[in-house]
């Protein structure tokens, strides 16, 4: 077990506490009913653009049109994860953090400005939670795969299921404890995974925070803006991403990252450079299965908060108040049983909440909500809420049997 001291980091950022973090490779055994699409793997950048133009055509549903059938994809995959706990080691609740498109797990632990933008630092050192982040299956330091019919949304959701169960049953040896409480925090596509996970297994989580999320992105044209605004090209034509196979797509320039993630005037230009230089790709298969993940009603009954930047492009079309009461608030129409549902719109933030000057409000909003509704539990008696969200764990009813199309 390799512990790396975070004391130096804490000293630099003026914190008295110093979380203990370690990188752990976790093997998961997953299975999902993937879509089989009549879509060739793009080879040239012209192929990539053709695919995206097909995907966003008004009045058409390209993924439904190209869906030929389903195939079960199963196997063991190696995932890159980072686990952090308070230096007391006393957390009773772990936050399972799932990043979105364009990033890897460093989204939750940005080194920028001496880790001042680190969500994990805040959650662990200021609130007493443990955090566990992972590179999504197929992305960054996690195992890669075939980009059209393998690396798709539902396979990744099953990996999130497996990680949750491993945190609860203590089978990750390097962590060496069982967590009774696991809350899930997602960003963007990671929020969609969190939504899909808790829709399938409503007992699996003690609380969820869906950041950079709504259900009405399509109503305000946010999805095509994202798909085209990202100026995606074949990832392996970018030097830093050269070992990805064809069908993994990355943003061409810092400006295309800015379009999709940043609010005008609300960020340090140097963090845009970092976001671009450490950016990670999205697969064709993920884009084909993106829409269907949040299409069912979610009967999760635990604490649920939605936190979205007011200028979010993909999920709000650049204005979360374009619909009333707000686009994030409207999403509770599909999470009708949520306990203490709250939707918070962050002023001066775009889709990339953690990279904006407004990140302290984002972090405080999420962590205060969990302390009040779930409890961090770093020391005795700090748990404000009780654990009402779980009554029915299990209920998986067959691996990969989600019974929904991948749309
Ligand atoms: C974990 O891995 C990341 C990416 O390689 C690295 O930047 C970070 O320093 C590592 N953290 C620890 C605690 O070893
Ligand atoms: C697959 O798509 C191509 C066009 O891209 C079309 O010509 C062909 O008929 C399709 N195949 C099936 C089985 O739908
Ligand atoms: C852990 O929490 C317990 C109370 O639950 C406390 O007695 C103990 O001192 C804490 N340990 C550390 C190292 O802070
Ligand atoms: C970063 O700095 C801001 C402004 O000083 C502060 O409000 C915030 O709490 C800091 N965040 C972290 C994670 O240290
Ligand atoms: C823990 O959960 C994982 C994922 O479901 C499972 O593969 C493993 O067998 C479980 N281990 C124990 C000790 O229950
Ligand atoms: C917003 O999304 C909800 C939930 O999917 C849906 O019921 C509602 O019709 C949508 N509103 C608009 C304006 O698209
Ligand atoms: C595409 O069709 C599927 C049903 O086949 C549906 O679930 C999905 O929401 C549709 N996508 C869009 C963008 O309308």
Q: How far is the CA of 295 from the centre of ligand 7 (A)?
A: 8
Evaluate whether residue 186 is within a structural domain: yes
Nearest to 42 by CA among 280, 270, 287, 279: 287
Number of domains in the chain: 1
Evaluate whether residue 328 is within a structural domain: yes
Phi-psi region of 249 (alpha: psi -120 to 50; beta: other; left: phi over 0): beta
Residue 246: CATH number of its domain: 3.40.50.1820
Report the distance separating Cα 30 and Cα 156, nearest Å. Answer: 9
**Cβ–Cβ under 8 Å, residues 225 and 314:** yes
Q: What is the pLDDT of residue 17?
A: 74
Tokens 């390799």 appear where?
Answer: 2
Evaluate whether residue 66 is within a structural domain: yes
Res. 384: pLDDT tops 50: no
- Nearest atom in ligand 3 to the alpha carbon of residue 381 is 5
Q: What is the pLDDT of residue 378?
A: 56
Q: Whose CA is nearest to atom 10 of ligand 4?
A: 116
Give the burial string for 266-302 (b: 16+ CB within 10 Å, else e): bbeeebbebbbebbbbbbbbbbbbbbbbbeeebebbb
Evaluate whether residue 84 is within a structural domain: yes
Using alpha carbons only, what angle is made at residue 303 by residues 300 and 307, rounded to the nearest 5 degrees? 105
Tell me how crowded residue 319 is: count the other CB atoms within 10 A of its CB.
16
The dihedral built from the CA positions of residue 334, 336, 339 and 345, taken in this order, carries a sign that is positive
Per-residue pLDDT tens over the stretch 156-180: 999 999 999 999 999 999 999 999 9
Evaluate whether residue 27 is within a structural domain: yes
| Beta bridge pairs of residue 128 | none
Evaluate whether residue 6 is within a structural domain: no
| Residue 323 Cβ < 6 Å to ligand 6 | yes
Q: What is the pTM of this model?
A: 0.90
Per-residue pLDDT tens over the stretch 32-75: 999 999 999 999 999 999 999 999 999 999 999 999 999 999 99
**Which ligand approaches the C-alpha of residue 377 most closely?**
3
| Beta bridge pairs of residue 185 | 97, 209
Q: What is the pLDDT of residue 395?
A: 31
Evaluate whether residue 304 is within a structural domain: yes
Evaluate whether residue 392 is within a structural domain: no
Q: What is the pLDDT of residue 377?
A: 66
| Domain extent for 203 | 12-373
| Residue 216 Cβ < 6 Å to ligand 6 | yes
């Amino acid at each position: 077990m390799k512990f790396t001291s975070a004391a130096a980091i804490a000293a630099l950022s003026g914190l008295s506490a110093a979380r203990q973090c370690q990188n752990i490779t976790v093997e998961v055994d997953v299975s999902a009913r993937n879509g089989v699409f009549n879509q060739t793997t793009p080879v040239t950048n012209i192929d990539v653009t053709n695919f995206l133009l097909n995907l966003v055509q008004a009045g058409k549903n390209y993924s439904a049109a190209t869906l030929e059938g389903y195939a079960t994809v199963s196997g063991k995959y190696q995932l890159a994860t980072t686990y952090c706990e308070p230096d007391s080691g006393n957390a009773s609740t772990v936050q399972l953090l799932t990043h979105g498109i364009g990033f890897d797990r460093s989204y939750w632990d940005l080194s920028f400005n001496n880790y001042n933008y680190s969500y994990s630092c805040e959650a662990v050192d200021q609130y007493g939670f443990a955090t566990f982040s992972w590179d999504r299956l197929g992305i960054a330091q996690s195992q890669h795969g075939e980009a059209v019919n393998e690396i798709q949304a539902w396979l990744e959701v099953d990996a999130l299921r497996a990680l949750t169960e491993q945190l609860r049953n203590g089978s990750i040896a390097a962590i060496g404890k069982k967590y009774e409480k696991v809350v899930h925090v997602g960003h963007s596509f990671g929020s969609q995974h969190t939504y899909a996970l808790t829709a399938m297994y409503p007992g699996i989580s003690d609380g969820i925070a869906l950041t950079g999320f709504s259900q009405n992105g399509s109503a305000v044209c946010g999805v095509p803006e994202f798909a085209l605004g990202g100026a995606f090209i074949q990832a392996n034509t970018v030097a830093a991403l050269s070992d990805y196979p064809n069908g993994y797509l990355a943003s061409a320039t810092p400006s295309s990252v800015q379009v999709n993630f940043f609010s005008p005037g609300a960020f340090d230009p140097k963090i845009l450079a970092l976001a671009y230089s450490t950016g990670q790709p999205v697969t064709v298969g993920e884009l084909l299965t993106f829409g269907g993940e949040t299409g069912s009603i979610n009967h999760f009954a635990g604490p649920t908060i939605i936190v979205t930047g007011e200028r979010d492009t993909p999920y709000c079309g650049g204005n979360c108040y374009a619909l009333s009461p707000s686009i994030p608030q409207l999403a509770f129409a599909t999470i009708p049983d949520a306990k203490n549902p709250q939707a918070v719109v962050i002023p001066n933030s775009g889709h990339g909440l953690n990279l904006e000057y407004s990140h302290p409000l984002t972090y405080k909003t999420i962590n205060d909500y969990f302390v009040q509704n779930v409890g961090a539990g770093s020391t005795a008696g700090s748990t404000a809420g009780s654990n009402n969200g779980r009554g029915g764990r299990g209920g998986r009813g067959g691996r990969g049997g989600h019974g929904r199309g991948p749309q």
